[in-house]
Structure 1
Amino acid sequence: MSTLIEDNPAKNRFEILVDDALAGFTAYVPRGEVLVFTHTEVDPGFQGKGVASALIKGTLDEIRTRGVRLVPQCPFVAAYIDKHPEYADLVAEQP
């Protein structure tokens, strides 16, 4: 199984492709140097296979590379960061 995670700025989301099929996405709203993640969705055919976790990990790694921050409004993104505190430094301070 090959996976690819890529940003789709036209749709404001990071997508995960599994064997060239769109398996899921995590949507964001750009606010300057901060991305507000609002929703994560995985196609039912790919649920229970770690696709969502792989998607969030790849997305957070890309955010770190870009040097931007995020606000995890999506419960799945927030829970992933709670379980993986090495990404906590990417969370922007809330006003």
Structure 2
Amino acid sequence: MTEPQTDKTGAVVHIALDETRAISAYTVTLDDGTLAGRADFIDPPEGEGEGERVFFHTEVSPEFGGRGLAGLLLREALADSVRRNVTVVPVCPLFAKHLKEHGEEYTARGGRFRKPRPADLALVKKTTEEQA
């Protein structure tokens, strides 16, 4: 878990990495433990993109919208990807847009990313169907 952060309202939130399922996520919770959102990703299996992280869905519960939580999730996920030395594959539109606009800044901080390939989309489809 990262150090507590504050959202746009000044409320304390916590971002944590949850790798307990086939679909992992960075989660954002309120100070009282209420889950407010998540950025879902898949680490491809060995031999199919080792050292990569496919971000495919980011969601914040509607009642917490407008507080900047998706941005906090995105920034922590990208910062942690730099720390872990993994390449980001942005299937999620939020991640794709951010990296399109700020990719040079991200790579200047040591980050790596690449455009999604058909195999990445197939992996997301297969994994999400298996979890349904």
TM-score computed with the length of structure 2 as normaliser? 0.65
SS of 1:77 mapped into structure 2 = helix
Note if contact 1:42-1:51 (Cα within 8 Å) is conserved in structure 2. yes
Structure 1 residue 90 displacement after superposition:
2.0
Structure 2 letter corresponding to 1:5: I
Inter-partner Cα distance in structure 2 for 1:61 and 1:29: 17
SS of 2:28 mapped into structure 1 = strand
2:97 maps to what in 1?
Answer: 79
TM-score computed with the length of structure 1 as normaliser? 0.87
2:18 maps to what in 1?
Answer: 8
Aligned residues: 95
CA RMSD of aligned residues (A): 1.7
CA radius of gyration, larger in: 2
Inter-partner Cα distance in structure 2 for 1:90 and 1:15: 22
Structure 2 letter corresponding to 1:90: R
Higher relative contact order, chain-length normalized (CA < 8 Å, sep 6+): 1
1:18 maps to what in 2?
Answer: 30
Unaligned runs of 5+ in 2: 1-10, 45-49, 118-132
Unaligned runs of 5+ in 1: none
Work out the percentage of aligned pairs sharing the same amino acid: 29
Note if contact 1:15-1:55 (Cα within 8 Å) is conserved in structure 2. yes
Q: Is 2:61 the partner of 1:43?
A: yes
Inter-partner Cα distance in structure 1 for 2:101 and 2:34: 28
